[in-house]
Chain A
Amino acid sequence: MAPSHAREQAVCVREVERTFADRRGAHVQALAGVSLRAERGELLAVVGPSGCGKTTLLELICGLQAPQAGSLDCVPAVLMPQHDLLLPWLSAIDNAALALRIAHVPRSQARGRAAALFAELGLAGFEDSRPHELSGGMRQRVAFVRTLLSGKPLLCLDEPFGALDALTRAEMQEWLAQALAREPRTVALVTHDVEEAVLLADRVVVLSPRPGRVVEQLEVGLPRPRRRTDAAVVALRERALDALALGRSAAS
């Protein structure tokens, strides 16, 4: 978007505000002056309590909503919602290839490209499985491949592992880190799991409860692969938790 910069900005959000009318017509402010940025190739994690406008932020970045104030300057983004939303009448590989079919790539060619990613990301053998035959973790993997194959430079992951059990979630965090090492993209990851944010991200933005505003931005800067027991990971997690608590007490 701005090639003159030293490092290209993939996401630049400036003083964005977003207010909704609830069912009774009362105004609910979701985001109050949020600013954040992510450079190309960075993984930006947005942490915050439930209802702090995280999903709204992703939808703004994806262009699904428009802000009432402030501005956004983002490269083309694709959304991966919390629920996999795989289409039950398509096989895993056809689900993964959905974006290519939408882009009018012939079916066999689209399946071929999806199959290559399946092999690369440890999904080989599941090509023809129907979504209902797959575990929750496998379904999220297929949904992630579908997101990758959109070809967009920015992936917006909305609590991708929120619905999984703790063991599967840990496994999926590791898998995502490996997948992104092989297929680098800029990622905006929304989560309420502070540990997940510190394990995966280059930069962690902590939001306050509604109306969401940025409480703190943490540069992670730790080498990968990271383990949740590493002293530096634990220290950063504590800092992020402190920021969350600070945001909560400021809001109440």
Chain B
Amino acid sequence: MSARTTHTLRSMSVTHGTGAARAALRTIVAPLLLVVALLGAWELYADLGSTSSFVLPAPHAVASALWENAGFLAANLAKTAEEVALGLLLALALGFALAVLVHLSSPLRRAVYPLAVGSQAIPIAVIAPLLVFWWGFGVLPKLAVIVLICFFPVLVTTVDALGAIDRDQLKLLRTLDASRWQAFRFAELPAALPAALSGARIALAIGVIGAYIAESQTATSGAHAGLGHEINADLTALQTPRAYAAAVVLFALAVACFYALALAERTLAPWAQRSRGETP
């Protein structure tokens, strides 16, 4: 009992006495330690294990591939990041628009929802040739794939948020003589906005892998065809370290987009933050 008390007091004095700098340090220490530990284990396994470097390159080899191919990777990243960002924006718009339609009309809900769910089961390889037939080797078929994969989480979170609005709120608005459109504009739309952005954050996690799938399935012409395309080419050419370096860049892209969306949510809908607590 007394030992626990002392411990609590000490940890309290640490947080109080040292200020913001150490608090900030403490927030990055845990993720940093985890990354270092994972990299260390990977390095040991790659160096001491029996895997070939064509199958699993060591982190130092990936790091040097990253360094030597920085320009090449950056050019491909630009392509992929463009696809992810545009695709996500379009998915956000489409998911939100569909959610509003589904919310306002129950016949539409019955008609659209099963199709939306089913669309998530379509293997991209099945429709990829059609997308290429329509739009060729440019960015459009890739966007179509990313939008198809990403609109769904936005649709679901937004429909749920629109449905969760207090019925008394709508009664109150009716006695204030609000039209259906005004009830939507004053109460429902602002309530749905943060939900749509949360949906976009979920969508993002699958959106980056969606970009890889899109690039793999719909061939691209040109020197810098995107990271997904590059990874496939490198794996075929046994340039495994560079493929891994590209995967690391995709990893960073996903993390960066996630935090960008969290920031957008905090800026556009600060009220939603308070009810939900801190965003990671």
The 9 closest A-B pairs by CB, nearest first: A88-B271, A79-B175, A99-B176, A81-B168, A78-B175, A102-B178, A89-B190, A89-B271, A62-B175
Neighbouring B residues of A98 by C-beta, 8 Å:
176, 186
Q: Is A150 an interface residue (CB 8 A)?
A: yes
Neighbouring A residues of B166 by C-beta, 8 Å:
83, 85
Neighbouring A residues of B177 by C-beta, 8 Å:
99, 102-103, 150
Residues of A within 8 A of B (CB): 59, 62-64, 77-81, 83, 85, 87-89, 98-99, 101-103, 130, 132, 146, 150, 152, 156
Neighbouring B residues of A102 by C-beta, 8 Å:
173, 176-178, 182, 186
In the complex, 26 of the A-B residue pairs with CB atoms within 8 angstroms, ordered by the A residue number, are A59-B171, A62-B175, A64-B174, A64-B175, A77-B175, A78-B175, A78-B176, A79-B172, A81-B168, A81-B172, A83-B166, A83-B168, A85-B172, A87-B187, A87-B190, A88-B274, A89-B190, A89-B269, A89-B271, A98-B176, A98-B186, A102-B173, A103-B177, A132-B271, A152-B175, A156-B175
Pairwise interchain contact A81-B171, C-beta atoms closer than 8 A? yes
8 Å CB interface, B175-233 against A: 175-178, 182, 186-187, 190
Q: Is B51 an interface residue (CB 8 A)?
A: no
Neighbouring A residues of B172 by C-beta, 8 Å:
79-81, 85
Q: What is the bound-complex CA distance between A77 and B172, given in angstroms?
A: 11
Q: What is the bound-complex CA distance between A150 and B177, given in angstroms?
A: 9
Q: What is the bound-complex CA distance between A80 and B175, given in angstroms?
A: 9
Q: 5 other contacts beyond A83-B168, A89-B190, A98-B186, with CB at 8 A cut-off? A: A80-B172, A83-B166, A88-B274, A89-B271, A130-B271
What class of interface size applies to chain B in its complex with A?
10 to 19
Q: What is the bound-complex CA distance between A252 and B35, given in angstroms?
A: 70
Neighbouring B residues of A83 by C-beta, 8 Å:
166, 168
Neighbouring A residues of B274 by C-beta, 8 Å:
88, 132
Q: What is the bound-complex CA distance between A214 and B178, given in angstroms?
A: 33
Q: What is the bound-complex CA distance between A62 and B168, given in angstroms?
A: 13
Pairwise interchain contact B175-A87, C-beta atoms closer than 8 A? no
Q: What is the bound-complex CA distance between A103 and B190, given in angstroms?
A: 19
Taking the closest CB of chain B, its distance from the CB of A89, in whole angstroms, is 5
8 Å CB interface, B246-269 against A: 269
> In the complex, what residue of chain B is closest to A80 when comparing beta carbons?
B172
Neighbouring B residues of A132 by C-beta, 8 Å:
271, 274
Pairwise interchain contact A87-B186, C-beta atoms closer than 8 A? yes
Neighbouring B residues of A63 by C-beta, 8 Å:
175
Q: Is B169 an interface residue (CB 8 A)?
A: yes
Taking the closest CB of chain B, its distance from the CB of A148, in whole angstroms, is 12
By secondary structure, the B interface counts as: helix
Neighbouring B residues of A156 by C-beta, 8 Å:
175
Neighbouring A residues of B174 by C-beta, 8 Å:
64
Neighbouring A residues of B190 by C-beta, 8 Å:
87, 89
> In the complex, what residue of chain B is closest to A150 when comparing beta carbons?
B176
Taking the closest CB of chain A, its distance from the CB of B131, in whole angstroms, is 39
Taking the closest CB of chain B, its distance from the CB of A131, in whole angstroms, is 9
With A101-B186, A132-B271 in contact, is A85–B175 under 8 Å at CB? no
Contact of B169 among A85, A101, A146 (CB under 8 A): A85
> In the complex, what residue of chain B is closest to A62 when comparing beta carbons?
B175
Taking the closest CB of chain B, its distance from the CB of A75, in whole angstroms, is 13
> In the complex, what residue of chain A is closest to B271 when comparing beta carbons?
A88
Neighbouring A residues of B171 by C-beta, 8 Å:
59, 62, 64, 79, 81
Neighbouring B residues of A85 by C-beta, 8 Å:
166, 168-169, 172
Neighbouring A residues of B186 by C-beta, 8 Å:
87, 98, 101-102
Taking the closest CB of chain B, its distance from the CB of A41, in whole angstroms, is 20
Neighbouring A residues of B175 by C-beta, 8 Å:
62-64, 77-79, 150, 152, 156
8 Å CB interface, B137-185 against A: 166, 168-169, 171-178, 182
Q: What is the bound-complex CA distance between A83 and B172, given in angstroms?
A: 11
Q: What is the bound-complex CA distance between A98 and B271, given in angstroms?
A: 18
Neighbouring A residues of B169 by C-beta, 8 Å:
85
B175, B182, B190, B274: residue with the most chain A Cβ atoms closer than 10 Å: B175
Neighbouring A residues of B173 by C-beta, 8 Å:
102
Q: What is the bound-complex CA distance between A206 and B177, given in angstroms?
A: 30
Q: What is the bound-complex CA distance between A79 and B274, given in angstroms?
A: 28
